[in-house]
Amino acid sequence: MPPRYKAVVIGLSAGGMHALKIFIPALPKAFPLPVAITQHSSDNSDGFLAEYLNQLGPLPVKEAEDKEPLCGGHIYLAPAGYHLLVEQNGTFSLSVDPRVNYCCPSIDVLFESAADAFGESVIGVVLTGANGDGSRGLKAIKDRGGCAIVENPATAATRHMPQAALDCTPVDHVVDLNELAPLLMQLSALQGGEASGSDAAG
């Protein structure tokens, strides 16, 4: 029976650099799923973040490219100034549509497109941040039967974004940052049809 989950999408903002420096090295080389990350950034940011994070752990990290297929065991970042979307055929697309929640890239845009593309086979994760971006998108993932994970607001670098997600929708797991990679490894090993379980607040 095939694995239940096909992809992980993650959104984060204020405090995100610190969070990624902890999370990315914690994912082992054997992690089988593609991971797409929207980190709020300024329009003039260069590709330094991907280059820096690529040196930290065993999984390759790069900026996503238009029409690029999602590949297991790879980490993709939304480029500055572009919304990152997942298409029905399992490829990325980049959009210069107007800002959503005052942000481009927007977490909601990535999450809602991933919910449409993967349905119950996607894991959505909201981490530290100072606004409500990602809440609507995480609800879309949960409404489609996917797995919703939120960083514990009490231990997040900036609690507003995780708390906004918890206020918006029931979630499957609330975790401290150092618990995220082990949880994703556990979920990635689940076979199709198995329940993800719940230790959720909310």
Amino acid residing at 151 = E
The answer to whether residue 13 is catalytic is: yes
3-state secondary structure of 24: helix
Question: How many residues appear in the chain?
Answer: 202
How many whole angstroms separate alpha carbon 82 and alpha carbon 197? 34
Catalytic residue among 13, 41, 106, 121: 13
Dist CA 198 CA 20 (whole Å): 24
Residue burial 36-49, b: 16+ Cβ < 10 Å; e: rest: bbbbbbeeeeeeeb
Query: Cα angle vertex 149, ends 163, 53, to 5°?
Result: 95
Provide the 8-state DSSP code for 152.
-
Annotation marks residue 199 as catalytic: no
Catalytic residue among 74, 133, 135, 188: 133
In whole angstroms, give the CA distance from residue 158 to residue 6: 29
DSSP single-letter state for residue 103 = B
Q: Catalytic: 97?
A: no
Using only C-alpha atoms, the chain has a radius of gyration, in whole angstroms, of 15
Nearest to 27, CA basis, from 5, 60, 64, 58 = 58
Among the listed residues 40, 74, 83, 173, the single catalytic one is 40
Catalytic residues: 13, 40, 133
